[in-house]
Chains A and B, each alone.
Chain A
Amino acid sequence: MSTSEFGNVSWVYFVAGAYVLVVVVLLGLAVNSLGRYRRARQALNDEGFSDDKS
């Protein structure tokens, strides 16, 4: 791992930080979207609303 002109901080931390951030946030967005649908779908079933209400 080489260090560069950014003080003593290696470029690896900046690159890894950016990629990890994007992975975590996009994964969170996907999981949140899947979860929101499943929770709403489950509630429609549990509360006895017809499937064709909309």
Chain B
Amino acid sequence: MPQAHRDKTFSLWAKILYPAIFIQLVGWYLGLFWIGADKDQGEVFRIMFVHVPVAWCAFVWILAAAVFAIIGFVRKSVFEQMDQNTHAAIDLGTVFGALALATGSIWGRPTWGVWWDWDPRLTTTLVMFLICCAYHVLRSFTPDVQARRNAGQIVAILAAVNVPIVYFSVNIWRSVHQPQTFVRKGGSASPDIGLVLLVNTLAMLLLSFVIFKIRRVAVATEETLEAAREGRNQA
């Protein structure tokens, strides 16, 4: 992709970033001030409106990274572009995974009485986050570009394998973490809570998509610079 095209893409998504932030702020306003307190957890349940969306974003971006990696392996003509997509997606997956762990820990302290428990949901999420970290470590320590890309793609697929394990861990094993409230039959949450959660999840997904597009252009531009420097050094 020519750099001029990337510049245009960057300008477009940098502009969309502001409305995306605004939509997210509206979602947080609804979660913090519009909706009433939960009858069991009281006010502290409002953490749900950041915790659940960031956890979903982590799932989505790690799965997306694996899809990009698989497309790259299948269609060699787009391998480089797919590697850049994977790189940007795993960046987001790592950050959202860390946020899911941190906000979950903050929510766990008042509801469970502890910051951390070696519960199946928490432990599998930690493993997912650590695999994302491994992706970055592997890329940083592999100087050969092709080897770096191959190894990165494989680790991205490995991270995605863990996503369904994280999601279904509350059903498979006995867990202190609550099961899926809105998906399972007989869930007790009110429709208002479901609506606000949906708004916040969609807003966070939109915001993360805009950041992904910006980051994707940044990764591609950095690789262009790296390749240009290598070409100059070899000449």
Contacts and interface: CB of A to CB of B under 8 A. Distances in A.
Contact of B2 (A4, A11, A51): A51
A51 to B, nearest CB: 5
Given A33-B211, A34-B214, A43 B225 contact: yes
B54 interface: yes
A31 to B, nearest CB: 10
Given A26-B207, A53-B3, A21 B227 contact: no
B109 A14 contact: yes
The A contact surface, by secondary structure, is helix
A54 interface: yes
Given A30-B17, A47-B228, A17 B214 contact: no
A29 B50 contact: no
B103 interface: yes
Contacts, number: 113
Interface range on chain A: under 10, 10 to 19, 20 to 34, or 35 or more?
Answer: 20 to 34
Given A15-B43, A18-B47, A22-B54, A53 B110 contact: no
Contact of B103 (A22, A49, A53, A54): A22
A36 B221 CA distance: 9
Interface string B156-196: 00000000000000000000000000000000000000000
B1 interface: yes
The 7 A-B residue pairs whose C-beta atoms are closest, nearest first, are A37-B218, A36-B218, A40-B221, A33-B215, A6-B110, A49-B228, A11-B44
